[in-house]
Chains A and B, each alone.
Chain A
Amino acid sequence: MREPLGSIAFALAIAGSAAPAAASCRAAAPAVIAAGTATWIGACPQGMAEGVGTLRVTRRGRSPALFFGRMVKGRPFSGVMPTEDGDWRPAWRFDTALRLRNDPSGSRQSSIDTFRLAAAGAVEASRRYRRAGNGASASFYAEQSRRLLAALD
């Protein structure tokens, strides 16, 4: 398996996590990364994840999985997940079982918008970690935002 810059970066982000998330926030993870405990790093009005941010799913014995993007009423709406190989898995929308859906029109603007939403989600996580005094994690998520914005030419 290709290694391991992504894994190291994830580990750093977790090692320094200083609670930039709400104590209790309902946030469902996309099906492809659902096996673990999800923490929403973003706004949580009425106890449900809402708006742009980053969902972090901790998994036993593995690096955490991440979803950068928008949540609506505690459910993922649109965004991008990094794979363990360092690639991107964009999700235009999700079905009722939280499986990924592609834009059937094949629109490039949809893809660009999805990556922009994801980048905004990473920026929000970076901002929250910075505010919590966790510079290492803030830098990690800022770098993810830059990578997401550069994904499509």
Chain B
Amino acid sequence: MIAQLGSPRESYSQDCQPPTNQTFKRMVVTSDVGPFRVTGLRPAVQSLAEVLAEVRGLHPQLYTKLGTAGMMCCRHVRGSTRSVSNHAWGTAIDMKIDGVLVPRKAHYANLGLQLLASVFNKHGWYWGATFSTPDAHHFECGANLLETFHA
């Protein structure tokens, strides 16, 4: 991430802080992506809007139940003093279905997340449910999609 997009800021804490890297900062946008507003990296937010537009067409009932626990947040991974959260670059998002968040480390996902995953995957996003520490509510831009972004 750092090689491709640079470091969003020099230091991190356990709280979300704004990016300080001016080049990176110019790529950060806040935008309405359909069911909610997000702040994130411009091309990631554009891709997210395309994902959600497709979800609206394929699964209109699911679309009306979509919410988020946020996209961009420059901070350390919880409990770490070294690892930077993937949310720091504004290329990851946590999704709620009907106001509900499936817990991190849960070895299951609800139907809404499974339906979302196929659309996110099609647009080059990874699904956190497949990570070594499963995180079913988490989606992030995959390597091939990131390669199309330029800071």
Residues on A facing B (Cβ under 8 Å): 2, 83, 85-90, 100, 102, 104-112, 147, 149-153
Choice from A86, A90, A108 contacting B72 with Cβ under 8 Å: A108
Residues of A within 8 A of B110 (CB): 85, 87
Residues of A within 8 A of B100 (CB): 83, 87-89
Q: State the 10 A-B residue pairs at the shortest beta-carbon distance, nearest first.
A: A108-B70, A108-B73, A111-B69, A109-B16, A106-B37, A88-B101, A87-B100, A106-B38, A111-B70, A106-B36
B38 touches A152 (CB 8 A): no
Give how many B residues have a beta carbon under 8 Å from the other chain's beta carbons: 33
Binary per-residue interface labels of chain B (33-56) against chain A in the complex, 1 for a CB within 8 Å, 0 otherwise: 000111100000000000000000
B124: min CB distance to chain A, Å: 21
Residues on B facing A (Cβ under 8 Å): 15-16, 30, 36-39, 67-73, 77-78, 85-87, 94, 96, 99-106, 108, 110, 135, 138
B73 touches A109 (CB 8 A): yes
Task: Label chain A's interface by main secondary structure.
Answer: loop
B72 touches A112 (CB 8 A): no
Residues of A within 8 A of B69 (CB): 90, 108, 111, 152
Alpha-carbon distance between A90 and B94 when the two chains are bound, in angstroms: 13
B15: min CB distance to chain A, Å: 7
Alpha-carbon distance between A86 and B102 when the two chains are bound, in angstroms: 8
Closest to B131 in A: A153
Alpha-carbon distance between A147 and B104 when the two chains are bound, in angstroms: 9
Residues of A within 8 A of B138 (CB): 153
Choice from B71, B77, B99, B104 contacting A108 with Cβ under 8 Å: B71
A110 touches B104 (CB 8 A): no
Given contacts A112-B15, A153-B85, contact A89 B71 (CB under 8 A): no
Residues of A within 8 A of B71 (CB): 106, 108
Choice from A2, A102, A111, A150 contacting B94 with Cβ under 8 Å: A111
A105 touches B37 (CB 8 A): yes
Closest to A114 in B: B69
Alpha-carbon distance between A113 and B123 when the two chains are bound, in angstroms: 31
A90 touches B101 (CB 8 A): yes
